[in-house]
A and B are shown apart, each in its own frame.
Chain A
Amino acid sequence: MSNTAVEFHDLGHAYKPGRWIFQNYNAEVERGSIFALLGPNGCGKTTLLKALLGALKPSVGKVVIDGRTAFVPQLFQVTFDYSVLDMVLMGRARQVGLFSQPSAEDEEAAMASLDRFGIADFARHPFHELSGGERQLVIFARALVSEAEILILDEPTSALDLKNQIVVLDWITRLSHQDGLTVLFTTHHPHHALAVADNALLMLGGSKYASGLASEVLSEENLHALYGVDLKLLPFEHKGQLHETLVPVLPYASRARKELLHPLA
């Protein structure tokens, strides 16, 4: 197994000829690292993800994936009310033979996976009865049980409340550091990317993109070019450690809310 889990060269896709969503993308994702993809809506994040997953054949370019992938989608609409255990068990598709049914070992692995995320008590509950955060964890458990080496997530925090966002981001980091998974995720929140990602790619439109170490790529200039809004890089101290985060500057509110304004000394 090489050190590079995912790489793509000259990747580009156009749904209609001449209308390129993105062009000439190159990147390499190191094994065991966390990679963030950022970009405004409609710039092709989901298309890029689908190309990486093999669900879409890109118009040009090559995607090389070394290892099994697992996908955590943004929304899960399940027609039938499967139980949580059934959902996680479906992750064993690669282990279970084509004409076979899951064995007791498969079910044990599913339960162990649920246990890992602390939601083993929900095993018999219907999936749709769970909250958004719990569902996210179930899908994580499914990804884990499929023994995938590469985890691809589509906006994992968009539909979650604050607490669950933190839970999910922490799990992403754990999975990468403790289990050695390579994690790719798209996000709308640059501060999330800054908090957890090792590397990042900003999709600036057309064939422009910025790729590299997250701490370098997620600069104020790049983010301003990407989103068209001001973001400030803010260092802070927590338990004796220095961290950085990104904070948006609201154009009007930052001027109008006088109680927050203090003149510089």
Chain B
Amino acid sequence: MLRYLSKLFQPREALWLAPYLCIALIALGLLRPLPHFPVPAHSRTVKGSDGVSVQVAQPLRGIAFAPPSVPDAYLEDTHSPELLVYVGVASGRKWFANGMMSWVYPEVLKNDSLWNAKLFRSTSNPFAEIETPLAYDPSVYLGCGSPVIQMRSVGLPVLTSGSTCGGHQKLLMCPGSPVPPVWFHYPEGPLFIPLRVDADLIGHPELADPKISSYCESLDELQGELQPSTLAIRPRVLMVGEYKGDFPRAGVIDVTAERKIPGDDAERVLIMDPDMIFINGFNASPREFMDDPRRQGLKAVRDRRVYKWAHGGIAYKPAGIRWLAEIAHPERLQPKVRQLLRDRVVSEFGYRLSEEQIDLLLHVNENSSSMGTERFTRYDQTTSEQGSSK
């Protein structure tokens, strides 16, 4: 045995063995304990929407997004684009460019350093996406989902505040509202909680309450006009896609909750036969939907009541809920959506939406062949009190 080992360490054998030995040693090095990011010397504790508290280094050096994220909600909540150091990949940039926040804060869209063009689409490699935000040096990362878990496993400060992550905290409700069966069915869940987290993050928690109050006031106004409890008929509505919306406040019924038949398969839709259908998606076209021969048996198609849901920047917002309500109950409500939208954006961001931009947000062109959408156009003449463009 000894002789054998002594033969192994002859120069010629050793020369061949050496690289293999090195590789084995390097592989063994992976067994070491994982590195851990130290807690910063000065930090503040911020609690995220999933209930996890994070140490955020002070002073706030910057905020980076963990993939995949878009900064719309953050910008709406905080009005602080200057704190961002990294946002996302090129595909996220395209998505952002279609939203309202890219008009209000065009510098975020134009700033190349915030976007990584090398990954033009997210790969299935989780680590490739984490590497990119690591290259920046923010005080905190904002994110949602599995990258958060991976980044937290090495001790990075990742805060969850997105509208689709969380709901583990106690819901913030408008006064007098019932608690929804699922936390994201009412806007208080996906909007208020992230609002509080974001405001806390940038060190201005006082920003949250006024917004919440004005929001609840708008909702109250809508309820005052609509009087949902006195509605004789509530249209049955099919919302295609994930968004479940705020149906009670808009005075409609979610047909999928009623029958508990999920999905939007053509056959299932025929069974449910809703009064109104809302489709979504980048290329969704109500015209095509209504022209589809498979769907001619639907009541909603016959009545031309297929709409493209105005997701964009107004989902869950008072303008969005009012939009749904105005389609469902035009006789009770004045056409105020455009004005509401315009006023709110001016008062919150100081930005004046143009008529074209409002058209885009409300999908006026796509919905032009559907019933009851004239009131959303800028040249609406149905009512005498409300004027149109300005």
Q: Are A and B direct contacts in the complex by CB distance below 8 Å?
A: yes
Residues of chain A whose beta carbon lies under 8 Å from any beta carbon of chain B: 97, 99-101, 103
Q: Which residues of A contact B4 (CB under 8 A)?
A: 97, 99-100
In B1-49, which residues have CB < 8 Å from any A CB?
4, 7, 13
A-contact bits for B321-363, CB 8 A (1 contact / 0 none): 0000000000000000000000000000000000000000000
Question: What's the nearest-Cβ distance from chain A to residue B125, in Å?
Answer: 41
User: Roughly how many angstroms separate A164 CA and B7 CA in the complex, as a whole number?
Assistant: 41
Interface size of B by CB at 8 A reads 3
Question: What's the nearest-Cβ distance from chain B to residue A103, in Å?
Answer: 7
Smallest CB gap from A104: residue in B: B10
Tell me the dominant secondary structure on chain A's binding face.
loop
7 A-B interface contacts by CB (under 8 A) = A97-B4, A99-B4, A100-B4, A100-B7, A101-B7, A101-B13, A103-B7
Q: Which residues of A contact B13 (CB under 8 A)?
A: 101
Question: What's the nearest-Cβ distance from chain A to residue B46, in Å?
Answer: 62
Residues of chain B whose beta carbon lies under 8 Å from any beta carbon of chain A: 4, 7, 13
Tell me the dominant secondary structure on chain B's binding face.
helix
Q: Which residues of B contact A99 (CB under 8 A)?
A: 4
Q: Which residues of B contact A101 (CB under 8 A)?
A: 7, 13
Q: Which residues of B contact A97 (CB under 8 A)?
A: 4
Question: What's the nearest-Cβ distance from chain A to residue B165, in Å?
Answer: 58
The 7 A-B residue pairs whose C-beta atoms are closest, nearest first, are A100-B7, A100-B4, A103-B7, A101-B13, A99-B4, A97-B4, A101-B7
User: Roughly how many angstroms separate A97 CA and B1 CA in the complex, as a whole number?
Assistant: 11
Q: Which residues of B contact A103 (CB under 8 A)?
A: 7
User: Roughly how many angstroms separate A101 CA and B12 CA in the complex, as a whole number?
Assistant: 11
Smallest CB gap from B13: residue in A: A101
Question: What's the nearest-Cβ distance from chain A to residue B111, in Å?
Answer: 62
User: Roughly how many angstroms separate A97 CA and B7 CA in the complex, as a whole number?
Assistant: 12
User: Roughly how many angstroms separate A152 CA and B4 CA in the complex, as a whole number?
Assistant: 33
Q: Which residues of B contact A100 (CB under 8 A)?
A: 4, 7
Question: What's the nearest-Cβ distance from chain A to residue B7, in Å?
Answer: 6
Q: Which residues of A contact B7 (CB under 8 A)?
A: 100-101, 103
User: Roughly how many angstroms separate A101 CA and B3 CA in the complex, as a whole number?
Assistant: 12
Question: What's the nearest-Cβ distance from chain A to residue B96, in Å?
Answer: 62
Smallest CB gap from B4: residue in A: A100
Smallest CB gap from A97: residue in B: B4
Question: What's the nearest-Cβ distance from chain A to residue B353, in Å?
Answer: 78
User: Roughly how many angstroms separate A206 CA and B7 CA in the complex, as a whole number?
Assistant: 54
Question: What's the nearest-Cβ distance from chain A to residue B15, in Å?
Answer: 13
User: Roughly how many angstroms separate A103 CA and B7 CA in the complex, as a whole number?
Assistant: 8
User: Roughly how many angstroms separate A100 CA and B10 CA in the complex, as a whole number?
Assistant: 12
Question: What's the nearest-Cβ distance from chain A to residue B161, in Å?
Answer: 62
User: Roughly how many angstroms separate A99 CA and B7 CA in the complex, as a whole number?
Assistant: 11
Smallest CB gap from A99: residue in B: B4
User: Roughly how many angstroms separate A11 CA and B243 CA in the complex, as a whole number?
Assistant: 90
User: Roughly how many angstroms separate A101 CA and B4 CA in the complex, as a whole number?
Assistant: 10
Question: What's the nearest-Cβ distance from chain A to residue B150, in Å?
Answer: 44
User: Roughly how many angstroms separate A100 CA and B4 CA in the complex, as a whole number?
Assistant: 7
User: Roughly how many angstroms separate A103 CA and B4 CA in the complex, as a whole number?
Assistant: 11
User: Roughly how many angstroms separate A100 CA and B7 CA in the complex, as a whole number?
Assistant: 8
Question: What's the nearest-Cβ distance from chain B to residue A50, in Å?
Answer: 34
Question: What's the nearest-Cβ distance from chain B to residue A28, in Å?
Answer: 40
Question: What's the nearest-Cβ distance from chain B to residue A130, in Å?
Answer: 27
User: Roughly how many angstroms separate A100 CA and B3 CA in the complex, as a whole number?
Assistant: 10
User: Roughly how many angstroms separate A103 CA and B8 CA in the complex, as a whole number?
Assistant: 11
User: Roughly how many angstroms separate A39 CA and B7 CA in the complex, as a whole number?
Assistant: 49
